[in-house]
Amino acid sequence: MLKKLGITFLGLSLLTVGVGASGLTPNEAQGMSYNGFAKTGTVEVKAEVWFTPSWKVANGAGYKLKPGKYVQRAYVRIQEGDYDSGRQKTKRASSKKDKNQYFKSTSKWNNPAKTMKVNYGWEYFK
């Protein structure tokens, strides 16, 4: 049973992360990625963004990331009608050597009568 749950969790993780133009990296094959964005749900929409400062962005990484850069901070935002979550930002990483994963999410109950926009962005080390 546990093995089956582990396989299901891995499958869901890969589905959430998505596959970039360059295919799966070894971390993505384990259900992880260095940097990413996901939008899930239909009734309650959840948007999340994550990054690992020590990872140098590769060509073809996707998610509007700039190749050759190191992410220092990320944000996610939901807008719908008069509602605006504003930029919900992660903590700022202090070093490119930091191997921790930074994460931020926000959610909102969807109003089908309104148009919802979800976006995200990255700040890089100089």
Enter the tokens of residue 52: 């690992």
**pLDDT tens digits, one per residue of 102-122:** 999 999 999 999 999 999 999
What is the rounded average pLDDT for all residues in the chain? 80
pLDDT score of 34? 85
pLDDT digits over 38-55, tens only? 999 999 999 999 999 999
Identity of the residue numbered 94: S
Region 80-107: mean pLDDT is 96
pLDDT of residue 33: 74
Instruction: Please report the beta strands in the chain, taking only residues with DSSP state E, as ranges in sequence order.
Output: 36-40, 44-51, 71-80, 83-84, 88-89, 102-109, 116-124
Query: Looking at per-residue confidence, does 34 or 41 come out higher?
Result: 41
pLDDT-derived band at 32 (thresholds 50, 70, 90) equals low
- Mean pLDDT, rounded, for 75-92: 97
Predicted structure pTM score: 0.71
Burial letters for 72-84: b for 16+ Cβ neighbours within 10 Å, e otherwise? bbbbbbbbbeeee
Residue 1 has pLDDT above 90, yes or no: no
Sign of the C-alpha dihedral computed for residues 56, 61, 63 and 65 taken in this order: positive
Domain residue spans of the chain: 1-32, 34-124
Classified as helix, coil or strand, 36 is: strand
